[in-house]
Amino acid sequence: MKVRIINKSSNSLPGYATADASGMDIRAFLSEKISIAAMERVLIPTGLYLEIPRGFEAQIRPRSGLAIKQGITCLNTPGTIDADYRGEIKVILINLSSETQVIENGDRIAQMVFQKVEQVEWLSVDTIDPTERNTGGFGHTGKN
């Protein structure tokens, strides 16, 4: 799949770190570093603009290394970028650590995964087919 992209940042285009990676790293596009206090959330620009093909979405997901090493993760995860959105891609980060963390221009802040999506057409009915689980709620299937 080919996706048209405008890169207004000084960073390279997002890329896959390995041949079998599903997500590509995206980087912060900042004029100066940003300090994120404990439990603070910030919106980080990337300088990227996409033309995602109809029937697909881009998902923004946390980077595991950033989460474990600095306690920084993405809010609204996964963040969805719809095929008809044309604005700058921005990432909502939160610092879950107890110390202030710093993000600098070019830092890898999230990963982006493309997924095929389908829209549903509702069919209003009076009953739906039962299952073994049926109406069991949260945690209904047990701990194991």
Domains of the chain, start order: 4-9+23-116 (2.70.40.10)
* pTM reported for the whole predicted model: 0.88
Which of 113, 74, 90, 109 lies closest to 8 in space, CA to CA? Answer: 90
In tens, the pLDDT along 49-104 reads 999 999 999 999 999 999 999 999 999 999 999 999 999 999 999 999 999 999 99
Contact between 81 and 120 (Cβ < 8 Å):
no
